[in-house]
Amino acid sequence: MKNLKYTTYLLFLLLSIVPFCDLKSQVTIEKLEDNWQLKINGEDFEIHGITFGPVDDTANYDAYFKDLQSLGVNAIRTWATGKNAKKLLDTADKYGIKVMMGIWMRHGRPGMEDDDSFNYLKDKEGMKAMYDNAINVVTTYKDHPAVLTWGIGNEVYLNMATDEEKLAYSKLLEKICKQMKTIDPNHPITSVEAWTFGIEWWHKHVPSIDIYGLNTYGFGANLLQGELDKMKVDKPYIVSEFGVRGEWDIKAMRNNIKIEPTDTEKYEAIANGVPNWILNKPNNLGVFVFHYSDGNQHMAPWLFTHYKGAKRPQYWAVRKVFTGKEPSNKVPKILKFSLPDGSFESGTWVKVTLTVSDTEKDIKTVKFSFNHREGSRKRRDQINTLEFRGTLKNGYEIKLPKIHGAIKVYAEVYDEANNVGIASSSVMVTDKEEQKKKFLVPKANLPFYVYRDAENMPYTPSAYMGNVKGMQVDMAHTKNVKSGKTAIELKYTESKNWYGLGLVDPANDWGDILGGYDISGARTFSFWAKASYKGVKAKIGFGMIEQNKKYPDSAIKTEEFVLTDQWKKYTIKTKRLNLSHIRSGFVLFAAANGFQHTIYLDDIVFE
């Protein structure tokens, strides 16, 4: 392949046009007869990549990238570029790893990833914000040596209802990509879509895209090149997400719950699929396996490299495919895991069948957990612990949770090398009290912090009301802080009119999508606050979506407080309120009354 005649795909202007550009960051794509190649500074570069989850855990960047290096990973992919981008790029470069820099584009309707509903036909201000963000990202990081390609958008066409919207998005995307090329001629532009859903639109309306990023799971990756040939696509592609078949592709079900692939299938999909279904295709430039991350949500045992801090088969499959090395300690293998047929009342103890094999014979512990695939997005994603009793030798019983409906049950087998093998089954549970619940949302553990140090916030500050142009909100303010590292700073820069801020779930929603939390049991709602001067009045509390909406707050409670210029704790009693569905976890309304002012807030909590 390397000795064949080639023609360079024209992506870049002469370096003399951008004399300050670092030569070691120049990336090109070339076509050698029928094969596409990616090159960095003239050297072949096949992407052996993985999507990267812990972007906010900057303290452990070195550990993560050192680990990725040991797995043979040479590139990571992000979906968006945030405040930690510089440190992420610097650390990646330190370990010789390149980065597909994500540039997020909003979705037109709720989908697999989030509940956003952006209007590409009417929201001109929002489109300008996306344009400005993309251009700012490219301008800021274009000369960093770790940048591999710009990855703009993710499955936007998939999450859009009409052709009219798709055309509007396509025009915005082309406008952005065209300007990106002017700013940075040294890195190709990739846009990402599920399967081939975006290709027709890209081909007709977005010629400035250089590489097609195609998210494909399971054996479909082997069919992708053929689909592109049928569509007469003459551009290179990256499999921008890959792993075992996802839930969306599964047909087989038990108790109306889709049957998750086995750990063996998860390992083989990567270890055999990457070389035999992806990297051997002529238009392919490489792959990003999904997903280098840790978690305890529904997606974690299915697709992540880690679960609750332990290594999964996917982790070792990545090492196998990129280095050729077998696992240093094999993950415990669950040969059989099953639950009885029939329906059982919540609180019942039921026997499980569990058979395990472990090459090294170093099994440390066994645990059980469950997931209920009903209700809001966050509730559907939760994996909760189960009570159980017994031993591996004598057998186990699990206690069914207070749930009504089918639950997915996980058996988790951990070994001394910090591996975990997981298998799942399902069982029907009945509970008359739970059956009466109107809205199924996650049950909050008390104390439940709406805000504390801008970390893991359950609600999003997306509900701006009144004179929003006069508002400036900093959710990670560091100068005037009551406790911890950060507080909320809310500046109002005008001397007239009113304004409001709500921390809500889901983000950008006003009662049309199920969300929020069950905070039942909380007796008080409290917060610390102060203002830039004494006497600033504000109505503060929680709840604002009324009963005329499909998914209202179960309680709406605000009180007027007169703030001082010193930190003070304010409390609202909640014992007699229905807190079973609080989707607006914090609301504040205030008016200028002739003066500008600033309000600081910290430690907002139900307890």
Spell out the residues 6+ positions from residue 581 whose beta carbon is closer than 8 angstroms to its own.
438, 439, 441, 516, 517, 518, 551, 552, 553, 554
| Predicted local distance difference test score (pLDDT) of residue 24 | 53
Band of the pLDDT at 446, cuts 50, 70, 90?
Answer: very high
Q: State percent of the chain over pLDDT 70.
A: 96
Q: Is the pTM of this model over 0.85?
A: yes
Beta strands (DSSP E) in 78-229 are: 98-103, 147-154, 189-194, 211-215
Tell me: pLDDT of 17 over 60: no
| Predicted local distance difference test score (pLDDT) of residue 110 | 78
Q: Return the structure tokens found at 219.
A: 């054996």
386 vs 230, 373, 408, 555, CA distance in Å? 50, 16, 11, 30
pLDDT, mean over the chain: 94
Handedness of CA 449, 453, 455, 460 (dihedral sign): positive
Band of the pLDDT at 578, cuts 50, 70, 90?
Answer: very high
User: If 0-12 CB within 10 Å is exposed, 13-18 middle and 19+ buried, where does residue 135 land?
Assistant: middle
Q: Return the structure tokens found at 144.
A: 């960093």
Structural domains of the chain, ranges and CATH numbers in brackets: 7-11+21-323 (3.20.20.80), 333-435 (2.60.40.10), 448-606 (2.60.120.260)
Is 477 in a helix, a strand, or coil?
Answer: strand
Tell me: pLDDT of 12 over 80: no
Amino acid letter for position 198: G
Q: What is the mean pLDDT of residues 515-520?
A: 97
Please report, in angstroms and rounded to a whole number, the separation of the first and last CA atoms in the chain. Answer: 66
Residue 215, φ and ψ in degrees, nearest 5: -80, 115
For residue 202, what is the enclosing H or E element?
A: helix 199-205
User: Could you tell me where the DSSP H helices lie in 336-493?
Assistant: 377-381, 432-435
Q: Does residue 461 have a cis peptide bond before it, meaning omega lies within 30 degrees of 0?
A: no
Q: Return the structure tokens found at 388.
A: 């159980």
Q: How many CB atoms lie within 10 A of CB 256?
A: 10
Q: What is the mean pLDDT of residues 332-345?
A: 97
7-11, 155-159, 196-200: segment of lowest average pLDDT:
7-11
**DSSP, res 180:** H
43-58 confidence digits (pLDDT tens): 999 999 999 999 999 9
Amino acid letter for position 94: K
Tell me: pLDDT of 607 over 90: yes
Q: What is the mean pLDDT of residues 525-548?
A: 98
Q: Return the structure tokens found at 553.
A: 């707050």
Band of the pLDDT at 72, cuts 50, 70, 90?
Answer: very high
